[in-house]
Amino acid sequence: MMNEQAPTDRLDRVIVPIRVRYAECDPMQIAHHASYPVWMEIARTELLRAQGANYRDCEASGVFFAVARMNIRYKRPARYDDELDLEVIGLPCEGVKVEHRYRLKRGKELLMTADTTIVCITGEGKAVPVPEGLLP
Amino acid sequence: MMNEQAPTDRLDRVIVPIRVRYAECDPMQIAHHASYPVWMEIARTELLRAQGANYRDCEASGVFFAVARMNIRYKRPARYDDELDLEVIGLPCEGVKVEHRYRLKRGKELLMTADTTIVCITGEGKAVPVPEGLLP
Amino acid sequence: MMNEQAPTDRLDRVIVPIRVRYAECDPMQIAHHASYPVWMEIARTELLRAQGANYRDCEASGVFFAVARMNIRYKRPARYDDELDLEVIGLPCEGVKVEHRYRLKRGKELLMTADTTIVCITGEGKAVPVPEGLLP
Amino acid sequence: MMNEQAPTDRLDRVIVPIRVRYAECDPMQIAHHASYPVWMEIARTELLRAQGANYRDCEASGVFFAVARMNIRYKRPARYDDELDLEVIGLPCEGVKVEHRYRLKRGKELLMTADTTIVCITGEGKAVPVPEGLLP
């Protein structure tokens, strides 16, 4: 699927390494399911950075990204100290939203797929168009 | 929707109070989106308890519930110290799965809706039928 | 020790119920040690509330409490779904600081003792005297 | 201080890079104080790894490390996306305990110092001597 993306002059995809922390695991001896959204947020931060932007600067300039929707399918468990690869792809959709898709792997094994919708808002919570420089 | 549920002799729905913790909020001054799955897990624990079961005993007897799918729609932000009501409804589906639906409110204001699929597994990760006594 | 406090017309001590969440536990099947500071923060929030103040209002008025020091002694493990009692005592010390002492119990069993120093600061991080109404 | 350590043929000190996550920060716009123990745990994992051991294998072999005491002094705040260096030093003390000391820096700026005591236990919680290969 990813290879079908038309070539662009901007990065719209990165793969981020994740090492599973002990504190992220639960009594079932696996990464707790609420740890994954935190990893997905790291991946979005790194995607922005790869595009030459910086989410800290965004917030400083009054532009915030709020998660409006999140859909996660857990396929196989991740364990403490596992080294994972989290791929994120950004897809602009409408003017004020960005959609991201995620695939988490341990080697060739697919552990999770997910997708989120982020809305661009002001500090007061008003939806605004995603700034040009931040579009994936 | 909830009122359309056929009457049963078992509780299939509870409303759990949630007080938003400071540590659950982020620099955007709102509850971080990864806090919600933790609250939803608390609601499932309390639903089981209302049904006379206990998830701690389940695990002690070798029955675990793994989250296989999670879908969350964030509608309005929750803030530090907010008092929220989280409603959860359990719906048996197939033999090894339970589906839950959630609605988070602050007073009459709807903040979030969500649904999850839980799979009943052994300690070795093998899917097994949900024990009779634990069916919602 | 607590009984030696001189009587005052203000509450300087509360006991807060804590139910251990599944997500707060780790693969050792016990509450992770980083969960305790979160519970201690809840206790400070409730101590303020018992005194008629509200930390959310404090922040809205530009007064913040930053943790400057934390010392925790873990004596016995807490487990998922345990019902605990967390006692907190507030002790004013110098003008810009408040010290708190904590005792966490499961029934009569002492699980943890701790103490923290909180510094009162402005939004810019400058230490300021603790407002009169907020002194324990 | 660190330079005064007598030379040994084993690593007793590592410096671990920490990138502050968005989810680790709070409404005060700084890393929440409960995030630091999680980073300190990562540093202990990496110290073990640098020594040729692996905490995951330890647990698999029935040896667990429980935190018995933690003392943290927060000197300056860390912020979202900051790149920090967390130094950890391991010091054997008595037979069943290991003490660690920590210093967190952003460039040359010291943000935090801390020390912890870890007790080596069995799965049943009984204190046992630290295995030879795991002594710092």
pLDDT mean over D96-107: 96
- For the cut 50, the answer to whether the pLDDT of residue B21 exceeds it is yes
Alpha carbon distance B92, D4 (integer Å): 64
CB of B91 within 8 A of CB of B98? yes
Chains A and B form CB pairs within 8 A to the count of 54
Q: pLDDT tens-digit profile of A95-105?
A: 899 999 999 99
Is D22 in Cβ contact with A41 (below 8 Å)?
yes
Q: pLDDT tens-digit profile of A12-55?
A: 999 999 999 999 999 999 999 999 999 999 999 999 999 888 89
Whole-number Cα distances in Å, A5 to A12, A35, A85, A91 = 9, 29, 20, 10
Architecture of the domain spanning C12-134: Roll (3.10)
Identify any residues that bridge with C87 across adjacent strands, giving them in sequence order.
Answer: C15, C103
Q: Which residues of C touch A80 (CB under 8 A)?
A: 27
Task: Note every long-range contact of A129-135, with CB atoms under 8 Å and residues 24 or more positions apart, other chains counting.
Answer: A129/A95, A129/A96, A130/A92, A130/A95, A130/A96, A130/A97, A130/A98, A131/A58, A131/A63, A133/A52, A133/A53, A134/A48, A134/A51, A134/A53, A134/A58, A134/A63, A135/A92, A135/A98
For chain A, helix (H) and strand (E) counts, in that order, are 2, 5
- State the pLDDT at residue C6: 47
pLDDT category, C1, cuts 50, 70, 90?
very low
Mean pLDDT lowest among A7-11, A81-85, C77-81, D54-58: A7-11
C66 touches chain B (CB under 8 A): no
The active-site residue, picked from D9, D12, D26, D82, is D26
Give, in words, the CATH class of A11-134: alpha beta
Sign of the torsion angle spanned by Cα atoms A90, A93, A98, A103: negative
- For the cut 50, the answer to whether the pLDDT of residue D68 exceeds it is yes
A60 touches chain D (CB under 8 A): no
CB of C63 within 8 A of CB of C131? yes
Token duo for residue A44: 């979005």
D125 touches chain C (CB under 8 A): yes
The residues in A 4-23 lying below 8 A from D, measured between CB atoms, are: 21-23
B51 compared with D45, residue with greater pLDDT: D45
**E strand map for chain C:** 13-19, 64-74, 83-93, 97-106, 109-121
The active-site residue, picked from B9, B12, B26, B82, is B26
Interface probe with C: pick from B30, B38, B81, B86, most Cβ of C within 10 Å: B81
- State the pLDDT at residue B89: 97
C80 touches chain B (CB under 8 A): yes
Q: How many CA atoms lie within 13 A of A91 on its CB side?
A: 12
CB of A102 within 8 A of CB of A111? no
Alpha carbon distance B83, C56 (integer Å): 13
Label the pairing between strands C64-74 and B13-19.
unpaired
pLDDT mean over B61-73: 95
A81 touches chain D (CB under 8 A): yes
pLDDT mean over A122-129: 89
- State the pLDDT at residue C7: 45
CB of D112 within 8 A of CB of D73? yes
| Residue A124 identity | E
Domain ranges of chain B: 12-134
- State the pLDDT at residue D5: 45
Alpha carbon distance A129, D54 (integer Å): 48
The active-site residue, picked from A26, A57, A82, A85, is A26
pLDDT mean over C76-99: 93
Is B67 in Cβ contact with A74 (below 8 Å)?
yes
Is D34 in Cβ contact with B29 (below 8 Å)?
no
Nearest CA to A74 out of A31, A18, A43 is that of: A31
The string of DSSP letters for A13-59 reads EEEEEEEPPGGGB-TTSSB-TTHHHHHHHHHHHHHHHHTT--HHHHH
SS percent in chain C: helix, strand, coil, step 5:
25, 40, 35
B110 touches chain A (CB under 8 A): no
pTM of the model as a whole: 0.92
Q: Which residues of C touch D125 (CB under 8 A)?
A: 77
Predicted complex ipTM: 0.90
Alpha carbon distance D81, D89 (integer Å): 25
Query: Could you tell me which chain A residue has the CA closest to the CA of C34?
Result: A23
Alpha carbon distance B129, B93 (integer Å): 11
**Residue A5's CB: how many other CB atoms inside 10 A?**
11
pLDDT mean over D23-48: 97
pLDDT category, B93, cuts 50, 70, 90?
confident
- For the cut 70, the answer to whether the pLDDT of residue A9 exceeds it is no
The C-alpha of D9 sits at a distance from chain C's nearest C-alpha, in angstroms, of: 32
D56 touches chain C (CB under 8 A): no
Residues 6+ away with beta carbon under 8 Å from A8:
none
**pLDDT above 70 as % of chain A:** 90
The string of DSSP letters for chain B reads -GGGSPP-SS--EEEEEEEPPGGGB-TTSSB-GGGHHHHHHHHHHHHHHHTT--HHHHHHTT-EEEEEEEEEEE-S---TT-EEEEEEEEEEETTTEEEEEEEEEETTEEEEEEEEEEEEE-TTS-B-PPPGGG--
**Residue D128's CB: how many other CB atoms inside 10 A?**
14
- For the cut 90, the answer to whether the pLDDT of residue C3 exceeds it is no
A134 compared with B30, residue with greater pLDDT: B30
- For the cut 70, the answer to whether the pLDDT of residue D85 exceeds it is yes
SS percent in chain D: helix, strand, coil, step 5:
25, 40, 35
